[in-house]
Amino acid sequence: MNKCQFHNDCSGYCVMPEQIAANLCEDCQDAERMDEAVRLRTAEVVEAATELLGELDAAAHARPAGVHGAPTRSVGRVSPHHP
């Protein structure tokens, strides 16, 4: 049996051969796996968000000529000052 060497100093002991080889008790092995899963998922979310922002940016810059957020002429409107 070896004492666990995980960063949070749990003071647990490694019992199983794979725990002894990793110097991590069962709880700390689970915590390490969860940390890795969160790290990988975070990377996936960042990648997806970056891709989405790129698509939104491209769409914002792909407007037809003459369109800048305001109409260039009134369509179907009658001025109250025009007879």
pLDDT tens track for 37-60: 999 999 999 999 999 999 999 998
Q: Is residue 39 part of a domain?
A: yes
Give the closest residue to 27 by CA, choosing from 39, 40, 43, 9.
Answer: 9
Q: Is residue 31 part of a domain?
A: yes
Q: Is residue 70 part of a domain?
A: no
Q: Which domain holds residue 51?
A: 2-60
Q: Is residue 79 part of a domain?
A: no
Q: Is residue 80 part of a domain?
A: no
Average pLDDT, the chain: 82
Q: Is residue 36 part of a domain?
A: yes
Number of domains in the chain: 1
Phi, psi of 46 (to 5 degrees): -65, -45
Strand, coil or helix: what is 43?
Answer: helix
Give residue 71's pLDDT. Answer: 53
Give residue 11's pLDDT. Answer: 83
